[in-house]
Amino acid sequence: MGLARAATIILAGLMFWLLAGESAGAQTHVALVIGNSAYAHGGRLPNPARDAAAVADALRQIGFKVTSRTDLGRVELEDALKAFSRDAAGADIALVYYAGHGMEKAGTNYLIPVDATLAADSDVDFETVSLDLVLRSVDGAHRLKLVILDACRNNPFLDAMRRTGSSRSIGRGLARVEPEGDLLVAYAAREGATAEDGEGGNSPFAAALVQRLKTPGLEVGFLFRKVRDDVLAATAQRQEPAIYGSLGGEEIYFVPPTGSAQVAQAPPPPVSAPATYNPPPPDAKTVEFAFWQSVASSNDPAQLKAYLTRYPSGDFAELARAKIGSLERPTSPAAAPSASPAPTQLATAGAENPRVRYFETELAPDGPPANLNGALVISTAQLLQKLQARGRNADSFVLLDARGCTQELTITGAVCLNPAFNIGALEQRVPTNEPIVVFCHNGGCGMSYQLGLILLQNGYQRVFWYRGGIDAWTAAGLPVMHFNASDEAG
């Protein structure tokens, strides 16, 4: 049953891929772009109208049908969202970009129209527009629903706003969101932080977004990671954009890679062409990855063994064997009666340093891919900055050594995993919304890639992948810890 199910999933994926070659030319991409600058009671913001114009122009250049509006009051903003929801219904991609003031009250986010007064916190519900309404406006799209908010600018209404109840919470910036389905929400600044309006023609976030939207070959998730890096550099690390939500396994491009058959722009006029176009079949690695994805989360050893039967030396063979061993390992008779194995203990470097046997593999012959879809790749300098800021609430994170501290040297404070590691044990100690940095001991190490993949497959939302090795640590002055390999456990 497991093998048949895996084969069915692979067949369905390949059929979808083949059909994509026939339907790519009929894709529909629609966008609503809003810039609120002329606030009647909160002072004028110089850049949102210019930001909206620049973003609208970039989207038109890459084939979007764009509706652009500026300086909207509450009723006008609601009407624009209502009209756009009709355009989004049945579209492949629906995008809303908003530049202007936004705020958070008691965990709910709101966009602030230009006619709002907000003399008291009780006015928020009646004079603003909820982010939930914006999210519903893109709900009818099929492949990608995207809301981009350059709306975390410092709120001028906040200080003068009268509080009407001690239980009400009014925050600076926007609150974190947890969108569902194929929906992404991008913030110009991460939750609870404010974004800069910029001293030039556009805000730092809008300038980076316009540049990256038109770059060929940037998959949507990676595009926003590039925007994040651009904004951090432009603001000397003061502003960090964030993106919330997750997508499926399909790669989505606004501008496809050079030579790609995927079309992100408006379809060209009909031309004479051969009656049938047959796209080339997917390569063996794509088929293997689809097979692994279909069984990776299973707790049935038979399904994992089906993968090994077909790919005995595959990229995920060691991982499959380790999981089979964990599932088939008999429970110790001395253990206390329990419906499931006892939780795995994680050890901190400097105490016990057990090995992680099933991660001890390299991805041959060229090492792991350059990127891990769904994770953020960070540099040595960025990791050093995180370590120096560690301890603050906003900068706390878990540092996982994928080799289990077996090299007699690891980064100080790293957590090592023991041979019986399973994802359930980690979930008992580390919530899925906690930032996690995974690392290895050299740039070609495949273990940190595989560990990051496991975390993402099991719902961890903030995974950072550090690819640097020991040479990079020591050159950058990262704090490290030595230990005696003869004292290792396991």
Question: Contact at 8 Å (CB) between 236 and 182?
Answer: no
Work out the pLDDT band at 284, boundaries 50, 70, 90: confident
At a CB cut-off of 8 Å and minimum separation 6, what does 120 contact?
A: 161, 162, 163, 164
Tokens encoding 204: 């730092």
pLDDT at 286: 75
- Confidence bin at 412 (pLDDT 50/70/90): confident
164-179, pLDDT tens digit by residue?
Answer: 654 345 666 788 898 8
pLDDT at 485: 39
Nearest C-alpha neighbor of 123 from the set 143, 144, 103, 146: 103
Position 344 scores a pLDDT of 32
Q: For residue 359, is pLDDT > 80?
A: no
pLDDT of residue 418: 55
Helix (H, G, I), strand (E, B) or coil at 318: helix
pLDDT number for residue 280: 54
pLDDT surpasses 80 at 354 = no
CA 326 to chain centre: 30
Cβ–Cβ under 8 Å, residues 240 and 189: yes
Mean predicted confidence (pLDDT) in 269-283:
52
Element spanning 308, H or E: helix 301-310
User: What is residue 277's predicted lDDT score, i.e. its pLDDT?
Assistant: 45
pLDDT of 239 higher than 70? yes
- Point out the least confidently predicted range of 196-210, 375-389, 412-426, 461-475: 412-426
Q: How many CA atoms lie within 13 A of 432 on its CB side?
A: 11
Contact 151, 196 (CB under 8 A): no
pLDDT of residue 264: 43
**Nearest 5 degrees, angle CA 9-CA 13-CA 15?**
115
Among 110-119, 299-308, 336-345, 349-358, which is the least confidently predicted range?
349-358
Decide which of 195 and 108 is more confident: 108
What pLDDT score was predicted for residue 263?
43
Residue 153 has pLDDT above 80, yes or no: no
**79, pLDDT greater than 90:** yes
Kindly report which listed range (23-37, 131-145, 229-243, 337-351) carries the lowest average pLDDT score: 337-351
| CA pair distance 255, 225, nearest whole angstrom | 16
pLDDT band at 287 (very low <50, low <70, confident <90, very high): confident
Residue 254: is it exposed, middle or buried by C-beta count within 10 angstroms (0-12/13-18/19+)?
A: buried
Average pLDDT over residues 344-351: 34
- Spatial CA neighbour of 298 closest among 314, 272, 316: 316
Taking 60 as the threshold, does the pLDDT of residue 362 lie above it? Answer: no
Global pTM?
0.50
User: Taking the alpha carbons of 290, 291, 292, 293 in that order, is the dihedral positive or negative?
Assistant: positive
Distance CA 464, CA 380 (A): 12
| pLDDT tens digits along 317-337 | 878 888 888 787 765 444 444
Alpha helices in 154-279 (DSSP H): 204-213, 220-234
Coil vs helix vs strand at 480:
strand
Residue with tokens 């006619």: 115
> Which residue is it, tokens 């209502």?
82
pLDDT-derived band at 490 (thresholds 50, 70, 90) equals very low
Q: Which of 70-79, 314-323, 361-370, 445-454 has the lowest mean pLDDT?
A: 361-370
Helix runs in 218-282, H state only:
220-234
Count of residues making up the chain: 490
Label each residue of 345-384 as H, E or C. Answer: CCEECCCCCCCCHHHCCECCCCCCCCCCCCCEEECHHHHH
> What's the CATH number for 347-487?
3.40.250.10
**Of 321-330, 412-421, 441-450, 455-464, which has the strongest mean pLDDT?**
455-464
| Confidence check: pLDDT of 19 > 70 | no
- pLDDT (average), residues 303-319: 85
Helices (H), 142-248: 204-213, 220-234
pLDDT at residue 74 greater than cutoff 90: yes
How many C-beta neighbours within 10 Å does residue 342 have? Answer: 12
Class of domain 28-244: alpha beta
Mean pLDDT, the chain, whole residue set: 76
Tokens of 247: 């997508």
What confidence category does residue 421 fall into, taking pLDDT thresholds of 50, 70 and 90? Answer: low
Share of the chain above pLDDT 70, in %: 70
Instruction: Please check the confidence at residue 222 and state whether its pLDDT lies above 80.
Output: yes
Output the pLDDT for position 341: 34
pLDDT tens-place string over residues 88-123: 999 999 999 999 998 888 889 999 999 999 888 888
* Among the ranges given (6-10, 67-71, 297-301, 343-347), the one the predictor scored with the smallest mean pLDDT: 343-347
**Percent of the chain with pLDDT strictly greater than 90:** 28
Give the per-residue pLDDT at 434: 82
Between CA 183 and CA 188, with CA 185 as vertex, the angle to 5 degrees is 160
Domain map (residue ranges) of the chain = 28-244, 347-487
pLDDT tens digits for 34-59? 999 999 987 788 889 999 999 999 99
